[in-house]
A and B are shown apart, each in its own frame.
Chain A
Amino acid sequence: MKALSAIELRRGKVRSFSIVHLKDYLIAYVFIIPSLAGFAIFFAIPAIRGLVLSFTDWNLLNSPTFIRFENYLRLSQDEEFWNSLWVTIQYVVENVPIQTLSSLLIAVLMAKVGTSMAFRGVMIIPWLLPNVVVALLWSWLLDPAFGFINEVIKQFGHGPLPFLTSTAMALPSVVGINIWRHMGYIALMIFAGIQSIPKEVDEAALIDGAGPWRAFFHVTLPLLRPVLAFVVITAIIGSFQIYDTVAIATKGGPVQSTWVLNFLIYKTAFEGYEMGYATAVTMVLFAILIGITFIQMRLMRAGEAD
């Protein structure tokens, strides 16, 4: 019963703000104005500039001319774009569930089994290495000619595996590398969520006769919803923007099997000098992310502020 009341409190049954005064508005704006200023200057204005540029033929060094929807029309018929989109979706679909589940598992282990600081410290180490170093390190460990992992495989009498050099294995290898770097870090966020669940809730459930599994699925997990929603949404957004690992370990290949959207955007903008077209691709990516987040917020009901 105790548990229930805690949940009710959490849902925010008590409302005392039915009458709002102008003064309250002003105070609220004082709270958001610093962040709003940062947002406007360094996020909103550049993004709007980007949107405008997507309707131009800007090549970085000319003065842009307005060309209406030409970039978007071209994009709709661009095989390379559709391939990139497909590759990126595959990446997200492979990456997000595995990453989230393994992070959840690690977080639970952090909270219930390996409560020592050392375990948390160890799990976060890969994330302390810059992306670029991680990509180089793994492309070395996985190298067919002199990588340690392939040396071990050779000991078992098997030929070297082309982890990063075959169309079948390249994308899953990139997924694996990124999960290795991020799982401890995401686990830490979920762990922080588990820690902020009042102990009483957990204990109450156990006293009520629920086993640890039941308590986890019926009490802990629902209370983790806002945190999990956050983790999944940011993981999807982050995965859609994967770049470094691909740019270093596979260079988009073999045969464009890892030619993800951000790689296409970067190549188009800075090697092809088609900045206008690149921003159009970016805007499509942006629209996709907004759509997905919107649906997700609805599904996970993460937006329940009051």
Chain B
Amino acid sequence: MTTTYRRPMRLLALFVMLLLVLITLFPIYWVVRTSLLPKSAIFSNPGSLLPSTVTLSNYGRLFGLYDSATAQKMGGVGLEFNFLRYLSHTIFVATIITLTQVLFSAAGAYAFARLHFPLRKQIFGLYLGALMVPGIVMTIPNFILVKDLGWLNSFMGIMAPSLLMSPFTVFFLRQFFISISRELEEAAYIDGAGKFMVFFRIIVPLSTAPLGTISIITFINIWSDYMWPLLVGSSDKVRMLTVALGIFRQQAPATGPDWGGLMAGAALSMLPILLLFMIFGKKVLNSIGFSGFR
């Protein structure tokens, strides 16, 4: 980069980075290490960095390679588990929500940042307020609403509350839109462009970084959502990955979690999204990262 930090500063910065990477990655490594252990070895040698014995049986269980009796002998839950199926549900739901939520929220955010209309401040205040209502209040009324609409155990029911907006997304994008320079917009208006034209041709292209970031954030938030999909979509035909993995962590009242299965599931469900982030994120963040803003 162009900045001119002096050498010792740079070394210190690199050291701090190394430390941060270590702190971040070590527990993740522990997830992987544990996912490779058979049940009988989970608790032995807690101080050793490498797994004492290595097995892929936890992963096998996730893909439903064993029948329930064998799975139970391995110390897992005696359930058929179809990782790919739950994964496809999650990808489907998260993709649709990300597309619609970011689009509609961006439109709203643009209106709040640039357009003038009666009650603008008040409505934005309400949106901000929605960010602060503890989620627990909304769960039960929303559940009853979705049930009345006949959307229980359907993808529509899982998606409904997040489809049109999230206060967080609107707030996030508005903060970015206010900081965009008005020059280009002014020029476009002089050239006779309408508001929609300005939004799609100027605001959206100028905001690839925040739009990309919020898309990733939205996608991952939906990806890891648990409570809502559990309530409205516990049936197998719409079950999301997080809900399916929930059974690995609480088998019976007092039994401990199925550590091997849980950690294998966690590691595996991180992978696709990490891949996605690498591909999608690289495109979004690098393109603006180096070419500057214009």
For B169, the closest partner residue in chain A by CB is A35
Assess the B31–A129 pair: CB atoms within 8 A. yes
A41 interface residue, CB < 8 Å from B? yes
How many chain A residues sit at the interface, stated as a range, is: 35 or more
Report A-chain residues with C-beta under 8 Å of the C-beta of B66. Answer: none
B96 interface residue, CB < 8 Å from A? no
Assess the B274–A46 pair: CB atoms within 8 A. no
A299 interface residue, CB < 8 Å from B? no
Interface secondary structure of B, over-half rule: helix
A223 CA / B113 CA spacing, docked (Å): 17
Report A-chain residues with C-beta under 8 Å of the C-beta of B107. Answer: 31-32, 34-35
Assess the B1–A112 pair: CB atoms within 8 A. yes
Assess the B134–A282 pair: CB atoms within 8 A. yes
Min C-beta distance of A272 to chain B, whole Å: 14
A148 CA / B47 CA spacing, docked (Å): 5
A115 CA / B184 CA spacing, docked (Å): 29
**If A43-B138, A195-B288 touch, does A112 touch B46 (CB 8 Å cutoff)?**
no
Contact of A196 among B194, B223, B288 (CB under 8 A): B288
Report A-chain residues with C-beta under 8 Å of the C-beta of B181. Answer: 6, 9-10, 198
Assess the B47–A189 pair: CB atoms within 8 A. no
Q: How many A-B residue pairs lie within 8 Å, measured between CB atoms? A: 296
Assess the A196–B209 pair: CB atoms within 8 A. yes
Residue of B24, B213, B278 with highest tally of chain A CB at under 10 A = B24
Assess the A35–B134 pair: CB atoms within 8 A. no
A197 CA / B289 CA spacing, docked (Å): 10
A253 interface residue, CB < 8 Å from B? no
Assess the B110–A31 pair: CB atoms within 8 A. yes
Residue of A28, A275, A302 with highest tally of chain B CB at under 10 A = A28
A137 CA / B257 CA spacing, docked (Å): 11
B151 interface residue, CB < 8 Å from A? no
Report A-chain residues with C-beta under 8 Å of the C-beta of B21. Answer: 119, 122-123
Q: B3-11, B51-59, B69-77: which one contacts chain A?
A: B3-11
Assess the A35–B164 pair: CB atoms within 8 A. yes
Contact of A286 among B133, B161, B220, B246 (CB under 8 A): B133
Report A-chain residues with C-beta under 8 Å of the C-beta of B130. Answer: 39, 43-44, 47
Assess the A132–B209 pair: CB atoms within 8 A. no
A39 CA / B161 CA spacing, docked (Å): 9
A229 CA / B176 CA spacing, docked (Å): 11
Assess the B266–A126 pair: CB atoms within 8 A. no
A278 CA / B5 CA spacing, docked (Å): 54
Q: Provide a sorted-by-A list of 18 A–B residue pairs whose CB atoms are within 8 angstroms.
A: A9-B181, A9-B182, A24-B195, A27-B196, A28-B111, A28-B117, A32-B111, A114-B17, A117-B286, A120-B281, A128-B224, A136-B257, A152-B47, A189-B172, A195-B285, A196-B176, A226-B178, A290-B132
Instruction: List residues of B whose CB falls within 8 A of some A CB.
Output: 1-5, 10, 13-14, 16-17, 20-21, 23-25, 27-28, 30-31, 43, 46-47, 104-105, 107-108, 110-118, 120, 123, 126-138, 140-142, 145, 160-161, 163-165, 167-168, 170-172, 174-176, 178-179, 181-183, 186, 189, 194-196, 199, 207, 209-210, 212-213, 216-217, 220, 223-224, 226, 242, 245-246, 249, 257, 259, 262-263, 266, 270, 273-274, 277-278, 281-282, 285-286, 288-289, 292-294
